[in-house]
A and B are shown apart, each in its own frame.
Chain A
Amino acid sequence: LAKTTQPISMDSYEGQEVNITCSHNNIATNDYITWYQQFPSQGPRFIIQGYKTKVTNEVASLFIPADRKSSTLSLPRVSLSDTAVYYCLVSSGNTPLVFGKGTRLSVIA
């Protein structure tokens, strides 16, 4: 199972863009990169997924360089409600998700 490394915590002011980088040096050819968001006492929620280059949806963007050994989740103009734990995961069809401890993002007014 590919292992991911991401910062334990980050702070940001409201309205700023937040970029959370995740390292996954041992990513396999058929692995996808997925990010989930979790609020306290709730189950995680899917944010975005990508395989290579850039993916954008209404919530975030995901940047993946050509070597796929890292990825960056970009949250535009964060608000207080974006305070949560963000998990970076890599997985393929036959493997379950392996959640690490994630990155605790605190958005400050």
Chain B
Amino acid sequence: EAGVTQSPTHLIKTRGQQATLRCSPISGHTSVYWYQQALGLGLQFLLWYDEGEERNRGNFPPRFSGRQFPNYSSELNVNALELEDSALYLCASSLKAGGHNEQFFGPGTRLTVL
């Protein structure tokens, strides 16, 4: 069974540009979560989607947005990139909605903002 996949693996952008990160959950999983992990820091919760709807949002500015498609894949968009947006962005999926359900993480997208 394929795990959570993310693309691209690496992404290099300059300040002010926009970045789009993609995630495909495990087949049958309807919930998708996005996290940011900056160097030396723990995972910061970004967004949670379930059945196409945004269920919860972490403490991030509005320039971080996303969506979930009918096939449950998801996209994270970061507008007006800033240097501090450089981080590993992790996507996870779970079979059922809710933080207490086991989340399966993808390999991440490493975003570098120059």
Contacts and interface: CB of A to CB of B under 8 A. Distances in A.
Interface size class of B (residues with CB under 8 A): 20 to 34
Nearest to B100: A32
Interface string A27-67: 00001101000000111111001000000000000000000
Contacts of A99: 35, 42-45
A12 interface: no
A25 B88 CA distance: 31
B108 A91 contact: no
A44 B100 contact: no
B106 interface: yes
Q: Interface majority SS on A: helix, strand, loop or mixed?
A: loop
Interface residues of A, number: 24
A69 B35 CA distance: 26
A39 to B, nearest CB: 11
B4 to A, nearest CB: 8
A7 to B, nearest CB: 14
Given A91-B99, A92-B100, A97 B33 contact: yes
A96 B31 CA distance: 11
A96 B103 CA distance: 10
- Which of A34, A94, A97 is packed against the most chain B CB atoms within 10 Å? A97
Nearest 3 interchain pairs by C-beta = A43-B105, A91-B99, A93-B98
